[in-house]
Structure 1
Amino acid sequence: MKRKLLMVGVGISIGLGSLLTAMPNTALAIQKNEQLENEKKEVQEKKSELESEITQKEEKIGEIKQQKVGVEQEIKRLDAAVSETRSKIDGTKAQIQETKEEIERLEAEMKILEERIHKRDELIKERMRSLQQSGGVVSYVDVLLGAKSFNDFINRVSAVSTFVQADREIMKEHESDIKQLEENKEEVKTLLAQQEDQLKELDRLEVQLQGQIQEQNKVMAQLEVEEQKMHEELHALEDVGELLASQEKAIQMEINAWNQKQKELEEQRRKAEEERKKAEAEGTTPPPPPPPVVNNGAFINPTTGRLTSRFEMRWGKMHFGIDIGKGGRVGNVPIYAAASGTITRSRLESSYGNVIMITHYINGRQMTTVYAHLDQRFVSQYDRVEQGQLIGYMGNTGDSTGPHLHFEIYDGPYSPTQYSGGHSNAVNPLLYVSY
């Protein structure tokens, strides 16, 4: 994963020329101390930049968490709306069922009324036929002609009229009942249509709400991915912070080691001067002064074996080091410190496996070596090692396809691609070692 953090180029090019150039020892010590202090100061500046970026990542994670809370609340609201809609759908379906049952009941009543009307209509027709027929049924004409007096006739006419009127009233009532049932039936059908439309609208609303929930779930999934990415970036930045801190401490240890070495050399020079003066006084030949400590920047081969992979593009990406294979050898193959320095990292990682990183200070600049995929490690963080010291055994740990040593050299601090966007300060180890 690429990062915008600028970790490359912490090493400073110092135009001092060769350290073999004659200069006072004290001036040389002061100058080298200044160089180391400048290295440490630049690392401290990078730490400050890193802390600012870590703060930004933490703020971004906080913002994402707030967005997630908002999305969760919206999903809960939509879930509640879906539940409410489903409840309304169930209620509407129950109402539709009741309405359909009411329509069936009204239709049954209408059928019964129609049968009653039909029967009474037949009865009325039978009565009308009795006006013209004689026999078992007394006709309205016989009733009228059987009157014994005029008053009796008037009474019988009134009675017959009453019967006829009653039959008419019954017919009107039946017709009114049928009309009312028809109207009720139409009203219920209208209600049923409204309820069915309402059900369709509720179904549409539920589909819409479910779609919104799906969209919110997508947003939540995106936020989860983004949050995971931010955590990974934050973890990477914190790892860089730990590495910068170890480099800062390693540089300070180099300063202390250099100062201690200068004190020892100064003491040797003082004793040599005393010996010289004593020899002059006694007329004898003084012993030669101790030779100056010169570091020409040379690295030794960190192990033995055959070169199996170079510093070049491999499998579609850059291979920022060289590989030295075990080549079928039995037993442990030792790994040595390519130059003296301070251990800035010694741990097990998923990619490098067992890895050791050493900070060196050579010819006025910081350099870093990396030894990966080790089977065993014999040094710890902040140990000081000398060139050629045994630091581990060749192995096959981490992202490795066979026993070998993966060896990297950086002109400056270790700067992996996932932090800085590229190993821009990684150099070809074959410029310093030979295989």
Structure 2
Amino acid sequence: MKKYLPLLLVVALVLTIPGLNLDQVSAESVDDLNKQIKDLEKEQLELKEKQDGLESEKSETEKKIQENLNKQGTVKGEIESIDQQLDTTRANIQAKENEIAETNKEIDSLNNKIKELKEQIEELKEEIKKLQEKIEKREELLKDRLRTIQKNGGQMRYIEVLLGSSSFADFISRTAAVNIMMDQDKAIMETLKEDRITVETKKTEVEDNKTEVEDKKVEVEDKKVALESQKQELVALQGQLNNQMAEKETLMAELEHEHEELHEIELTLAEEQEVIRAEAEAKKKAIAMAERKKTELAQLNKKEPAANSGNPNGIFTHPAKARISSHFGMRYHPIFHENRLHAGVDFATSTGTPLLAPADGVVSKVGVVGGFGNAIFISHYINGQSYTTVSAHLSSMSVSPGQEVSEGQVIGATGNTGNSTGPHLHFEVHIGGYGNPVNPLPYLK
């Protein structure tokens, strides 16, 4: 039965070509179709091997996703711990600032007291100066009295005054005068003594008070220095915690981005398996369509190139009328830290720009495909070679799987769906089927 399978496929393919009958099929065309069928069977075998490889890659990706989630859990816990430390540190800094503010108030109060005491000392100096002048005058008066008494024989002078009375009344008067003089002398001496004690007491009291306040000020200033030092330590700790938090948040963002990338890869692998399965049928139809339209293709190849075309030897028309904003090639990936392929070219289109079928072919996949967003996959068979084109990030799609499309036919509109930072068309060309991307530019007309 296996022997006859190629022949049956030949018959099936020939029957699908309108306007042909068995008499028109030459031996040469049968050989060509046999070769095409063998090529197709080889491609299908390669697709089966690719599917097996994708299953293994998908399993590895799922493992990476789980590892990523575990890392995210660890980093999240570290962030929460640092956040709690930051809350405690901020509260401690605020407490220190409050203590420093109170200490500054205390220092201001002590400075005011010292100022007042200095003013009191200045006033007391004036008072002492005046008292000293009084003391000096009283001392001089007393010295004069003592010199007089000493010169006149001490207390005998008072007796002579009394004995020199001319009458009893005069004696009484003289006695009173002597008593007054003695009392005055006594009062002067007592006042002098009290003034001296008062001056010394006030001076000692103010000096002691000043010394006490100055000592207190030194103590409070030392306390302020200690608080400032403690605050600086807390501020430094807060800076370290902020740096740690920033590092952890950056790591968390990278892990979340990596998680999205891994999921995108996982979805792409699943979708790729679907595309590969769909391509087998689409390729059969594409080969039949190519044979049927051989004449038309010959005519199309004679057409003048499009206005924005730069390659007359290309096989695909431009899928959209727009400039190329990003080229095919390797790029450094910030998450996986390796060079990764940008597997197509980007056209800087606005949302809603008509999307054209790049060549005759059969639609193999239509819908949301991983990071591509809305995408259309088309299988082509041109000059004995199969191709797959991909148009991604579309805003709308007007074809369905299995549908035949003609070159230049409007099949949708460009947009900004999927992993896209702005409206554009991402366009890819794969030789022999999806999974073998090449630079599209040499293949564009």
Give the TM-score, by structure 1 length.
Answer: 0.59
- The amino acid of 2:223's aligned partner reads Q
| Alignment partner of 1:377 is 2:397 | yes
Choose which of 423, 427, 437 in structure 2 pairs with 1:406.
427
Counterpart for residue 233 of structure 1: 258
Residue type at the aligned position of 1:195: V
Separation in 2, partners of 1:105, 1:207:
34
Distance 1:353 1:232 in 2: 17
How far residue 185 of structure 1 moved from its aligned partner, in angstroms, is 0.9
Correspondence list, 1:195-214, <5 A = 195-214=220-239
Alpha-carbon separation, structure 2, partners of 1:74 and 1:167: 71
Asked if structure 2 preserves the Cα contact closer than 8 Å seen for 1:355 and 1:370, the reply is yes
Residues in 2 aligned to 1:141 and 1:407: alpha-carbon distance in whole angstroms: 138
**Distance change (3 Å), C-alpha of 1:245 and 1:191:** same
- Amino acid aligned to 1:188: V
Q: CA contact under 8 A between 2:428 and 2:440: conserved in structure 1?
A: yes
1:130 maps to 141
Residue 381 of structure 2 corresponds to residue 356 of structure 1: no
Q: 2:71 aligns with which of 43, 60, 75?
A: 60
2:364 to 311, 328, 342: 342
CA shift, 1:96, in A, is: 0.9
Q: C-alpha distance in 2, partners of 1:247/1:112? A: 100
For 1:140 and 1:337, the matched residues in 2 are separated by 147
Check 1:222–1:358 CA distance in 2 against 1; reply closer, same or farther (3 A cut): farther
| Structure 1 match to 2:59 | 48
Q: 1:61 to 1:82 in 2, by over 3 A?
A: same
Segment drifting more, 401-410 vs 196-205: 401-410
Residue deviations 1:115-138 (CA, integer Å, cap 9, x gap): 44334333333333333557xxx9
Matches within 5 A, 1:159-198: 164=189, 167-168=192-193, 170-198=195-223
Counterparts in 2 of 1:196 and 1:358: CA distance versus 1, 3 Å: farther
Contact 1:347/1:355, CA 8 A, preserved across alignment: yes
Give the distance between the partners of 2:124 and 2:35, measured in 1 at CA: 129
Partner deviation per Cα, 1:179-235 (whole Å, 9 max, x = no partner)? 232132123223223323433443454455445434433443343333223222211
In structure 1, how many angstroms separate the alpha carbons of the residues matched to 2:268 and 2:189? 116
Aligned ranges 1:16-165 → 2 under 5 Å = 20=34, 37-131=48-142, 133=144, 144=155, 145-146=157-158, 164=189
- In 1, the alpha carbon distance for the partners of 2:58 and 2:96 equals 56
AA aligned opposite 1:110: I
Structure 1 runs not aligned, ≥5 long: 1-17, 262-291, 415-424
Work out whether residues 325 and 405 of structure 1, in 8 Å CA contact, stay in contact via their aligned partners in 2: no
Report how many residues are paired. Answer: 350
Unaligned segments of structure 2, at least 5 residues: 1-31, 164-177, 315-323, 330-341
SS in 2 for 1:110: helix
**TM-fit CA distance, 1:51:** 0.6
Equivalence for 1:426: 437
| Percent of aligned pairs with the same amino acid | 21
Paired letter, 2:429: E
**Equivalent position amino acid for 2:134 in 1:** L
Q: Is the 8 A contact 1:307 1:325 kept in 2?
A: no
**1:78, 1:212 within 8 Å by CA — same for their partners in 2?**
yes
> Is the Cα contact below 8 Å between 1:346 and 1:379 reproduced in 2?
no
Match of 1:13 in 2: none
| 1:342 partner amino acid | S
Equivalent residue, structure 2, for 1:221:
246
Aligned to 1:393: 411
1:178 & 1:306 partners in 2: Cα distance? Answer: 108
Deviation at 1:247, TM superposition (A): 2.4
Contact 1:371 1:406 in 2 (8 A): yes
Structure 1 pair 230–402 and aligned structure 2 pair: CA distance change class (3 A)? closer
Show the counterpart of 1:285. Answer: none
8 Å CA contact 1:243–1:344 kept in 2: the answer is no
Cα deviation per residue 1:26-75 (whole Å; 9 max; x = unaligned)? xx98x988665443322211111111111122222223322221222222
CA distance in 2, matches of 1:57, 1:366: 39
- Give the C-alpha shift of residue 92 in structure 1: 0.7
Q: Is the 8 A contact 1:309 1:324 kept in 2?
A: no
1:374–1:174 CA distance, 2 compared to 1 (3 A): closer
Q: Contact between 1:346 and 1:357, CA under 8 Å: does it hold in 2?
A: no
Deviation at 1:19, TM superposition (A): 9.2
* Matched residue type, 1:230: L
The answer as to whether partners of 2:355 and 2:412 remain within 8 angstroms in 1 is: yes
Query: Structure 2 matches for 1:285-324, cutoff 5 A?
Result: 305=306, 308=309, 318=329, 320-321=343-344
In the other structure, the counterpart of 1:419 is none
Return closer, same or farther for 1:43/1:345 CA change in 2, 3 Å cut-off: farther
Q: 1:367 to 1:208 in 2, by over 3 A?
A: farther
Considering Cα pairs closer than 8 Å and 6+ residues apart, tell me whether 1 or 2 has the greater RCO.
Answer: 1
Deviations, residues 137-180 of structure 1 (Å, cap 9, x unaligned) = x999999443679xxx9xx9999679636633541452243123
| TM-score, normalising length: structure 2 | 0.58
Indicate the larger mover: 33-42 or 186-195: 33-42
* Amino acid of the structure 1 residue aligned with 2:102: G
Q: Which residue identity is paired with 1:54?
A: I
Within-5 A mapping of 1:262-301 = none
1:187 partner SS: helix
Structure 2 CA distance for aligned equivalents of residues 347 and 22 of structure 1 = 30
